[in-house]
């Protein structure tokens, strides 16, 4: 707990003092050191400041300052403030040791530097690792035990710098300054030092306790280049540890160095200042002195770093400054503007560029003394592959071939395990049907739960295969190339090439895809990407496609699926263009995206990613789909008695006494039809049927679309429940092929099936997607707008397709 949390009269033992710079030194000099007991004497009338007693004298601290001191409390806390740590009671000593041996570690690095891989190895977590920018879109927390220390590890989003141009940069910067981790692990791609070390220079300016993980060090070794990382670590004041996180190499040594830095026993750890030249250094000193006199910003920020970011005209720094009194803020900003004009006149370039050049100059100088390139540099596999897959003539055909292989493989390879699961579901239904007596419970189990959930779970292998293909493309680095070759297309849509990554991720699930749009610096492009992402066909729609394509297009299932996915992309293009034209016409940030080297995907990473998605799908089976199936069955099962149902039952009883089996079967079929139409769900379907009848849909299809708003897989489970009464066929595809309407016409034709797939592709995103749009955009307005425009667009497109199809098939 924090010292500020103690009540009047409370006592605690200090275990850690956070903060930095002059504030931390002042606090330590006042006696607030590890192991000392501190007592709360009293609070000021407005609860701030607070008077404390430590080392037999009284001192007052502001509540914000006390919040930077960690303490432990308990019944065994010593009574005397001058008791040395060695004489504390055994319980307090144990508690103290446990708390002080917890090290808060933040992983910071460029996208694609291997942070998440290192996090997975260290913490045992199974976050997905992709070989492109923007996999980690939020902080992940894990725990790790090493040499009697507990490490609390935070995997922060990948970022190239600590400016304020993207949500990731802002998030990382806020975390480092406000949470004050004990040690920052700067994960650096050893194969691209010059670019990766730029972030390191900003961490140096922030005055962080840092250890540098030279990740993917095997690539540097294989290239034949040489790096004196020990000397480089001494030069920049932070120890460097070579690691290969995918193999677990160097991880133990990395955490050994973290412990040494935490205990302040690391000889290479020292605070250095990057020399920005006399002109800029004078400006930094002038602003820093002004901050010392007029502000109290130094508890969380290094004043030097704050001064530098002010000179860089960093928007977030200016926002923090404006939180102080207006007069102080205006005085400092006037000084900043004057120093900026002076420096730019002398340097003949703007301050931001001057700082950037100085940082890269510092990096170049350090590498010049420690890094030796292989004079016989060999062409890498990236050099061999890229000219082919990014070729202006071959790039697009290769991309389409990959997409076709993915969708065809999902359809064709999934048939066999799908049939095995179908057989298992059929066997289970037959067993329950054989030993249970007739009644509502039996109907619930067979028609409700097994008919609903069983109709969806059979597509688990197809879902796993789809995610397998996506994981291979992501981890190999090809996904970034797909974004590169689609950059021009994205620009014609009014988007960045970076937008292509969230759109491709949308083939898996719209929710993380929308969250990954945070990596797009431009808000306008980010908003357009979020709004069109629901049009990209996610894996939740896949069971609907597999069911209907397998039933009505058995010989061309792969082509039908490719047509649907192509349609989703084309619609996204059209709508993005319209949004760019009418809603978000301005653009403010240019397209910049890294093309990482190709890497061989590890079997473990691919398996983990695929298994995680399969688990998510299975959890849906036991969650929303199970509940939805039971609700839909209940609405379709009740009421049990109406006037027409009772009349049909009397007619059946009469025909059974006469022995007319054909008449009995005919009336029984009419009874089932009447019961479905007069059930609660039938009544709901009849209400919405007029809206969807022009699309070729009857009331049962209308109901399935209504329930599919919760989750698209529920469309299949709803069809499974509504068509469960058909005794002519047991499996759902066969039931759909033989199903008829009240007038005897087929409920499904190939055209109806295709229109239904198309409608499911476009209409109302699931509730989770709408919530993600609301969270990322900051307003329900855009979530509601997405519901309206997608559903309207679905109706218009499917109406046109249905009319054209009817004219082509019947001439009417």
State the pLDDT at residue 76. 44
Burial class from Cβ neighbours inside 10 Å (0-12, 13-18, 19+) for residue 703 reads: buried
State the pLDDT at residue 215. 93
Cβ proximity of 575 and 531 under 8 Å: yes
**Could you report how far apart the first and last alpha carbons of the chain are, in Å?**
76
Return the number of other C-beta atoms located less than 10 Å from residue 249's C-beta.
Answer: 16
Burial class from Cβ neighbours inside 10 Å (0-12, 13-18, 19+) for residue 413 reads: middle
The CA–CA distances, whole Å, from 206 to 18, 135, 350, 440, 468 equal 14, 25, 22, 68, 41
User: Which residue has tokens 């601290």?
Assistant: 61
Contact partners, residue 209, CB within 8 Å, separation at least 6: 182, 183, 184, 261, 262, 269
Angstrom distance (rounded) from CA 413 to CA 298? 61
Tokens at 114, concatenated: 């291997």
State the pLDDT at residue 802. 93
Cβ proximity of 47 and 63 under 8 Å: yes
Angstrom distance (rounded) from CA 455 to CA 736? 12
State the pLDDT at residue 402. 83
Angstrom distance (rounded) from CA 194 to CA 600? 24
pTM higher than the cut 0.75: no
Q: Could you tell me how many helices (H) and strands (E) the chain has, helices first?
A: 38, 13
Cβ proximity of 109 and 64 under 8 Å: no
Angstrom distance (rounded) from CA 459 to CA 469? 16
Residues 154-164 pLDDT 10s: 888 888 888 75
State the pLDDT at residue 498. 67
Q: What distance lies between CA 434 and its chain's CA centroid?
A: 46
Q: What distance lies between CA 549 and its chain's CA centroid?
A: 31
Give the DSSP H/E element, type plus range, for residue 509.
none
Triad 660, 666, 672: Cα angle to 5°: 130
Cβ proximity of 153 and 125 under 8 Å: no
- Which residues in the chain show pLDDT less than 50? 75-99, 131-132, 588, 727-729
State the pLDDT at residue 238. 92
User: What is the four-CA torsion angle of 131, 133, 135, 141, rounded to 10 degrees?
Assistant: 110
Cis upstream peptide for 49 (omega within 30°): yes
State the pLDDT at residue 749. 92
State the pLDDT at residue 62. 74
Cis upstream peptide for 271 (omega within 30°): no
User: Which residue has tokens 């066909």?
Assistant: 537
State the pLDDT at residue 157. 85
Angstrom distance (rounded) from CA 86 to CA 93? 8
Cβ proximity of 769 and 517 under 8 Å: no
State the pLDDT at residue 202. 92
Alpha-carbon dihedral sign for residues 574, 577, 582, 583: positive
Q: Which of 716, 546, 705 is nearest to 629 (CA)?
A: 716
Largest CA distance in the chain: 110
State the pLDDT at residue 302. 80
Q: Which of 85, 81, 21 is nearest to 57 (CA)?
A: 81
Beta strands 240-242; 210-215: pairing state = parallel
- Paired strand residues for 740: 746
Angstrom distance (rounded) from CA 502 to CA 772? 13
State the pLDDT at residue 172. 87
């Amino acid at each position: 707990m924090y010292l500020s949390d103690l009540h009047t009269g409370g006592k605690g033992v200090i275990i850690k003092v956070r903060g930095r710079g002059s504030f931390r030194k002042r606090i330590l000099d006042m006696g607030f050191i590890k192991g000392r007991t501190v007592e709360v004497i009293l609070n000021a009338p407005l609860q701030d400041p607070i008077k404390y007693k430590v080392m037999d004298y009284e001192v007052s601290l502001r509540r914000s300052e006390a919040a930077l001191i960690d303490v432990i409390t308990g019944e065994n806390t010593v009574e005397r403030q001058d008791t040395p740590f060695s004489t504390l009671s055994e319980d307090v000593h144990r508690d103290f040791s446990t708390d002080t041996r917890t090290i808060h570690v933040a992983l910071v690095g460029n996208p694609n530097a291997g942070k998440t891989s290192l996090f997975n190895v260290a913490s045992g977590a199974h976050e997905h690792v992709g070989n492109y920018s923007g996999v980690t879109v939020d902080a992940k927390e894990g725990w790790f035990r090493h040499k009697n220390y507990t490490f609390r590890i935070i995997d922060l989003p990948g970022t190239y710098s600590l400016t304020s141009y993207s949500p990731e940069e802002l998030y990382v910067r806020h975390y480092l300054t406000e949470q004050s981790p004990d040690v920052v692990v700067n994960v650096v791609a050893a194969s691209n030092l010059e670019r990766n070390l730029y972030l390191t220079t900003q961490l140096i300016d922030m005055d962080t306790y840092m250890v540098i993980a030279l990740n993917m060090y095997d690539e540097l070794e294989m290239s034949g280049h040489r790096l004196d990382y020990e000397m480089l670590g001494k030069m920049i004041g932070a120890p460097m540890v070579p690691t290969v996180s995918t193999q677990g190499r160097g991880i133990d040594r990395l955490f050994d160095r973290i412990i040494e830095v935490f205990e302040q026993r690391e000889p290479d750890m020292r605070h250095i200042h990057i020399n920005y030249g006399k002109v800029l250094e004078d400006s930094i000193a002038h602003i820093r002195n002004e901050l010392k006199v007029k502000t109290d910003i130094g508890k969380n920020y290094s004043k030097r770093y704050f001064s530098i970011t002010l000179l860089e005209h960093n928007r977030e720094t200016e926002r923090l400054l404006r939180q102080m009194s207006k007069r102080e803020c205006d005085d400092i900003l006037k000084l900043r503007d004057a120093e900026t004009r002076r420096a730019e006149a002398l340097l003949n370039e703007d301050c931001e560029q001057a700082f950037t050049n100085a940082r890269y100059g510092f990096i170049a100088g350090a590498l010049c003394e420690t890094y030796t390139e292989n004079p016989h540099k060999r062409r890498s596999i990236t050099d061999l592959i890229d000219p082919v897959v990014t070729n202006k003539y071959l790039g697009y055909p290769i991309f389409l071939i990959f997409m076709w292989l993915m969708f065809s493989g999902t359809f064709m390879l999934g048939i066999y395990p799908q049939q095995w699961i179908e057989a298992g579901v059929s066997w289970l239904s037959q067993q329950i049907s054989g030993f249970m007596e007739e009644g509502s419970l039996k109907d619930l189990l067979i028609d409700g739960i097994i008919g609903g959930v069983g109709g969806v779970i059979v597509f688990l292998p197809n879902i796993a295969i789809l995610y397998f293909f996506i994981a291979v493309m992501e981890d190999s680095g090809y996904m970034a190339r797909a974004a590169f070759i689609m950059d021009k297309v994205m620009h014609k849509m009014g988007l960045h090439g970076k937008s292509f990554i969230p759109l491709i991720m949308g083939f898996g699930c719209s929710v993380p895809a929308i969250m990954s749009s945070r990596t797009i610096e431009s808000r306008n492009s980010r908003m357009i990407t979020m709004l069109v992402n629901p049009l990209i066909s996610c894996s939740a729609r896949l069971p609907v496609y597999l069911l209907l394509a397998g039933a009505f297009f058995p010989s061309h299932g792969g082509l039908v699926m490719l047509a649907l996915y192509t349609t989703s992309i084309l619609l996204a293009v059209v709508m993005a263009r319209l949004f760019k034209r009418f809603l978000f016409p301005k653009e403010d940030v240019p397209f910049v995206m890294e093309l990482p080297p190709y890497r061989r995907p590890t079997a473990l990473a691919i398996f983990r990613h695929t298994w995680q998605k399969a688990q998510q799908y299975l959890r849906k089976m036991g969650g929303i789909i199970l509940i939805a199936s039971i609700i839909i069955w209940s609405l379709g099962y009740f009421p049990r008695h109406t006037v027409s149902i009772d009349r049909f039952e009397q007619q059946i009883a009469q025909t059974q006494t006469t022995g007319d089996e054909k008449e009995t079967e005919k009336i029984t079929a009419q009874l089932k039809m009447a019961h479905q139409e007069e059930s609660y769900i039938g009544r709901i379907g009849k209400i919405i049927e007029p809206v969807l009848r022009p699309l070729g849909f009857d009331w049962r299809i209308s109901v399935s679309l209504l329930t599919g708003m919760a989750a698209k897989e529920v469309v299949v489970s709803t069809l499974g429940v509504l068509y469960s009464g058909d005794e002519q066929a047991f499996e759902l595809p066969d039931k759909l092929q033989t199903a008829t309407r009240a007038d005897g016409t087929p409920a499904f034709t190939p055209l109806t099936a295709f229109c239904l797939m198309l409608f499911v592709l476009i209409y109302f995103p699931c509730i989770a997607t709408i919530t993600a749009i609301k969270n990322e955009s900051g307003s329900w307005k855009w979530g509601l707008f997405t519901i309206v425009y997608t559903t309207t667009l679905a109706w218009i497109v499917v109406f046109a397709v249905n009319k054209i199809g009817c004219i082509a098939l019947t001439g009417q």
